[in-house]
Amino acid sequence: MMSTYTVGVLVGSLAKASINRLLAQALTKLAPDAKLVLKEIPIRELPLYSYDYDADYPPVAKAFKQAIAEVDGILFVTPEYNRSIPGALKNAIDWASRPWGTNSFARKPTALIGTSPGAIGTAVAQQHLRSVLCFCNSPLMNTVEAYLQFKPGLITDSGEVTEASTEEFLRNFLREYHLFIARVLTVLPRDA
C-alpha cells in the first residue's frame, strides 16, 4: 500500500483568471483519492529576490520556504511567456533556492505541467524550467510530459474537465506523479 503524499502546487501566473490556475484547480479535483493531496503555495506576495535579503529573509519568504519544506513534492503549473517561464515564477524559485545551502528544492520530487492557447502548449517554458530545477537538484518526473493546448470550455470555472480524453490524460499524469514521488522518497527519504 502506497502512502498519501502532500504536493505543493506553484502556479506560474499571477493573473486571477489564469488558465493555468484553472488547470491547477482541475488537477486538485482529479488527484487520486487517498494518494495525493494538492495545495497551492502562493507566490504573489513575494518581493523581487536579492541576495541582500539572505541574512534576514522577510516573513513572506520564510513562510514560502516553510510551505515547501512541509510538502512531499512540488507540482509546477506554468504558462509560457515569451518562450520561457514567467518572471514571477523564476523569482519564487530564486527565493526558495537561496541563501546558499538552504535550497528548498533539493531532493524534492517535482513534476511540470502547463497549458496555453498555442499548439505546443508550454513545451519551451517547461524545458527552461527543467534546466533551472536540474541546477536546484530537484528530481524531475520526465514522463509523462504534459503540454496542453487550452481551448475555451476545456475546463469549467469550477475546475471540471469537459473532454474525456483530456481528463483521463490528467488522471494518468497524477497517477504517474504519485508513483514517481514514492520512488524518489524511497531512495531519498525526507528525513535523511
Interval 169-187: pLDDT, tens = 999 999 999 999 999 999 9
Q: Model-level pTM?
A: 0.96
The residue behind cell 533539493 is 106
Strand partners, 110: 74, 140
The reported pLDDT for the residue numbered 108 is 97
From the CB of residue 42, how many other CB atoms can be counted at a distance below 10 Å?
15
Q: What are the E-state strand segments in 41-93?
A: 73-77
Interval 116-139: pLDDT, tens = 999 999 999 999 999 999 999 999
Amino acid identity of residue 65, one-letter, is K
Q: Which three cell numbers mark 19?
A: 488558465
pLDDT at 32 over 90: no
Interval 96-105: pLDDT, tens = 999 999 999 9
The reported pLDDT for the residue numbered 76 is 98
Strand partners, 168: none
